[in-house]
Each structure stands twice: as structure tokens, then as C-alpha cells.
Amino acid sequence: MDFALSPEQDMLRDSARRYLANDFAARRRGGEAADGARWRDYADLGWIALLGPEDAGGLGGEIEDVLILAEEMGCALSLQPYVASAILAIGLVDLVAGGQQRLDILGEMTSGERRFAPALYEPGRRYMLAPELRAAASGAGYRLSGAKTLVVGGAGADGMLASARLDDGAVGLFLVPMDNAGVFVTPYALIDDGGAIDARFDQADLGPDALLGIVSVDAIDDVLDEARLAQCADALGALERAIEITAEYLKTRTQFGQPLANFQALQHSVVEMYIEADSIRSSLYNAIAAFDRGGREERRRAVSSCWVKTFDAAKGIAGMAVHLHGGIGMTTEYPVGHYLRRIMVSERSFGDVEHHLARYMDLAS
């Protein structure tokens, strides 16, 4: 399989790199994370529509195109919830909704007019996707009772895509407006400067149209695998930039009258970081190939293998990058420490290393 970028993909990467170049500087000014105009820019650039179906205003792109963007976003430390609110949210709506409702919602999402945050995880249940949030029939609609946690991108979103269990035991996906009187939201900052919310549903009444459709837990997991792969690409972009910053720093920082880059022990450390990053890219390519072959079990094994390889190595690489900087690596004004914090948050977004190692072993048995 040829993994060389096409001319169009080269243009996509270069345009993303130029646009995202100042994201870290904007964050230090306090405006990047909360600026809704940035999300509309993503829509104008076609990034949100990239994986959207063509019949609903999307571009019908390939997973490889999205991974190029995700890698550049990790490199730039972008705080926009692209993986959650574009890749995962659009995939869920496309999977579950039907008819004109599907076309309307996807059209609003791909145009940047509305943004939704997937709410799939619940307190005390780690990464279990089978929901305990209850959706009881109430009149012509539904009444939701329960809670969701770690809803990334929930702050500033127009609504949540919440999985809930119906009276007959089936799992439904609900579109829940943030301004619903029965929804109580607790926003908080993550250690990478991003944001998430916890949501409590206190008999939140919804109309019949709030139920987008019935969905299996396996189908949700399939859509999550695309988001997981994008999260691995994001982490790879972050790591490669952290290595570049570290190599540049060692060339300019002097000790005992010479640059730190002249010391063989430090050279070996940087080389090992590059080798580990290359092994992550190889694992990512293997997962992309599994997606193209299309078998569910093979795809799941490849994604979990990629997740374990990425984040098992990433914490060591990012930690070494901070270590080689010394004290300056711990300051908030300098970017290298932010890459470590981004890796720590990313690893727990869609299942940590232990979760995916267990998933891989279950699939291999």
C-alpha cells in the first residue's frame, strides 16, 4: 500500500500548517479555546465536511485526509474539539439518523452553523459504552434521567449527542439541546487547557424528534475507531513537534562552553525519540491499511494496537522532551510541557492503554 501523499493531500497539509501556525500564541492570549469564529473557519476551509457524506453537504473524504489534519492540529496544539465534534459527532449522526432529519442536521454541522458534543461515557463506568442513562417514554416524547461525564467540547456546543437506554432495553442516540431546563452542566478545564463538561439529566423532557435513531453499542464502537485513529495522529503530530523543539533547544543551549547537542548521551536520547515516533507512524499506517481492507475484527485489533503503541511510547517521548529542557520545560510560557499534557489527556479520551490492551487480547483470543 502506498502511503505517499497525493498532491491534493500535500496542499491540505500545507494549508492546515499555515492556518494553525499561530494557535499556541493565540492560546497564550486567552482567546483560541473559546473563539467560536475558529470553528466557523474550520467549516469554511472544508475541514468539518471532510468526512461528511456528499448527499448532506459533505466532501466524502477518506480517513487518510482527516488524519493529515489531525496530525497538524496536534503539532499546533489546537484546542478546537475537532475529533469529538467533527469526526465522531458527524459519524454518529450519519450512522443513526435518517431521512430529512439526517440531511438537515448534517448540513448544519458541516457548514459550521451548529456544533454538537458526543456524550457517550458515564460516571463510574470508565469506557463502557452500554449506557445507564434512561430515556423513558413520556407523552409523545422522552424523559432523560442520569448523567454523562467527560463530554469534550461540551462548553460552547449547541447540544449533546447522548446515548441512552429506552424502556425496551434498546440503545437510542438523542440530540439534547444545551438549554434544556432539565440538563445541568458542570464545565471544567483539562490539564492541556482544553475543556469538557459533566452533564446531569434531571427528568429532562424531550420531544419525539430528539431520538435520532436506535443504535448498537458495536456500531458506536466502530465510529469511535475513526476518532481513535485521528487521536493517535494528533498525538503523533504533537510528539514530532516536541522532538523538533527539543533538538533545536539542544543546539542553542550551551553547557561547559559548548552546545548540549554535542554531548553524545543527549544525542542518543534524541535519536531514540525519533525512532519511537517512527514506530508510532508505522503502527498508524498499519491501522489505515486495516480500515481499507474493511474487516471489523481486524480493524479493531489494528486500532487498539495503534492506541497502545502510540500512547505507551508517547508518554516516554514527551516526558524525555521536557526532561532535556530542564526547568524551562515545566513553564507554561514554553510549549514543550504543553505537548506532554496534551498526550496525557489524549490517552484517556477514548480508552486508555490498559483498556485497549484488554480489547486487543479479547479480539485475539
- Which architecture, in CATH terms, is 7-110? Orthogonal Bundle (1.10)
Asked if 49 and 108 count as a contact pair (C-beta separation under 8 A), the reply is no
| Domain locations in the chain as residue ranges | 7-110, 116-214, 217-364
Residue with cell 497564550: 28
pLDDT tens for 178-225 read 999 999 999 999 999 999 999 999 999 999 999 999 999 999 999 999
What are the tens digits of pLDDT across the range 240-255? 999 999 999 999 998 8
Contacts with 131 (C-beta within 8 Å, 6 or more apart), sequence order? 120, 122, 146, 162, 163, 164, 165, 171
User: What is the rounded CA–CA span in Å between residue 225 and residue 295?
Assistant: 13
- Scored b (16 or more CB within 10 A) or e, 236-259 reads bbbbbbbbebbbebbeeeeeeeee
Kindly state which CATH superfamily the domain 116-214 is placed in: Butyryl-CoA Dehydrogenase, subunit A, domain 2 (2.40.110.10)
Q: State the pTM of this model.
A: 0.94
Give the whole-angstrom CA distance, residue 203 versus residue 168: 18
Q: Look up residue 21 and give its three cell numbers.
A: 501556525
Helix/strand/coil for 150: strand
**Quick check: 34 pLDDT over 50?**
no
Q: CATH assignment of 217-364, given 3.40.50.720, 3.90.180.10, 1.20.140.10, 2.60.40.1180?
A: 1.20.140.10
